[in-house]
Amino acid sequence: MKKLISFGFVLTLLIADSSELLAQPGTKSIIYAGSSSARGSKGIYVLEFDQQKGTLKELQTVTEGSSPGFLAFSPNKEFLYSIYGKGTLEDGNGAVMSFKIDPFTGFLKKVNEQSVGGKGPAHISIDPKGRFAYTANYGDASVTVFPINSDGTLAKASDYVKHTGSSTNPQRQKEPHPHSSIPSADGKFLYVSDLGTDKIMIYEVMNGGKLKPAAVPFVQVAAGSGPRHFKIHKNGKFAYSVDELSNTIVAFKVNKKTGALTIIERLSMLPEGYSEVTYASDVHFSPDGKFIYATNRGHESVVIYGVNAKNGKLNIIGHESTGGKHPRNFMISKSGEYVLVGNTNTDNVVIFNRDNKTGLLKPNGVQYTIPAVSCLIEL
């Protein structure tokens, strides 16, 4: 049998307990779901996504470690990397694991594991050239860099950078809390959103996997904002941060040469007049880059903006209920036709049809149960 998965899409899948091949190549893909260890969660879920029907089916669960959270692929999509609240090592720290992706089934097989060197990893990303894995360790105020070997295994950490500082929120900002680490498209810079210090740190990535503060080492956002997740537009000119504590989204102009960020505008992610307690979480672009979506936990919504590709500014299009509570993470299918939202506190993944022209979302009536779902990504 020939290798049938290419460019991240599952063209044909061989189901473990069946000899049937999935019909109509290109209509089904694999989705991986991370989950916190709560309410009967099994670990990492391997799911088949039928893009004609808009439905999910469980194929495999991986029960390594405790609380597999954020997930990321190698650039060639041959490996999946996951952070863990606690791995299988004896040091008691958070961990990162490497899994080989079966090219026929999408199933995962553990390759190796490394300690992140501290507590509470919140996010993992992979260098676009496949050289390094980066973890943002919320509980330990640190960022860890792992070189990736040619066989997909993770080498021991090449750098471990501790943050310092605080900000104005007495409950959440007494110390640094790195929440995400996003490399630039060329791999030269790493942007680390620190919720505890109201800074997005900017590092230059050096040979050998060392991080050096960039010429402009950070951008300061409004006091008490709590930057959480960060995305760079595919044109490389603009970037956007969602701020957890203030429920705002901030647009930046990007200096591609130095990596520096300049604030363009700061907008509320909530409807006018809404005053209940709520926290921003995740952010993603549509595949064509014309829209950006972000989630609110408390308001339990996805907010939709149109993106002006010339000046980076946003115009609000609307809000859509997530159909559950605490939408920690969501994904947009590569086709752009679906949005899948993981509601952590109600254990449900809600599937929405997406209008590619207007950007609007509409529930397709399908929900799938994953206890404490925390991350969704499509192969």
Q: Please report the pLDDT score of residue 38 as a whole number.
A: 82
Q: Please report the pLDDT score of residue 26 as a whole number.
A: 63
Distance CA 10, CA 376 (A): 16
What are the 10-residue block averages of pLDDT along the chain, 379 residues in total?
A: 37 34 63 91 95 95 93 98 93 95 96 94 98 97 98 98 98 98 98 98 97 98 98 97 98 98 98 95 98 98 97 98 98 96 98 98 97 97
The SS3 assignment for 196 reads coil
Distance CA 223, CA 216 (A): 19
Distance CA 253, CA 241 (A): 12
Distance CA 228, CA 199 (A): 10
Q: Please report the pLDDT score of residue 90 as a whole number.
A: 85
Q: Please report the pLDDT score of residue 40 as a whole number.
A: 85
Q: Are the C-beta atoms of residues 10 and 30 closer than 8 Å to each other? A: yes
Q: Are the C-beta atoms of residues 155 and 149 closer than 8 Å to each other? A: yes
Distance CA 162, CA 119 (A): 12
Q: Please report the pLDDT score of residue 61 as a whole number.
A: 96
How much is the CA Rg of the chain, to the nearest whole Å?
A: 20
Interacting residues of 213 by C-beta distance below 8 A, sequence separation 6+: 201, 202, 203, 204
Half-sphere exposure of 255 (CA within 13 A, CB side): 14
Q: Please report the pLDDT score of residue 169 as a whole number.
A: 98
CA 293 to chain centre: 13
Helix (H), strand (E) at residue 53: none
Distance CA 177, CA 175 (A): 7
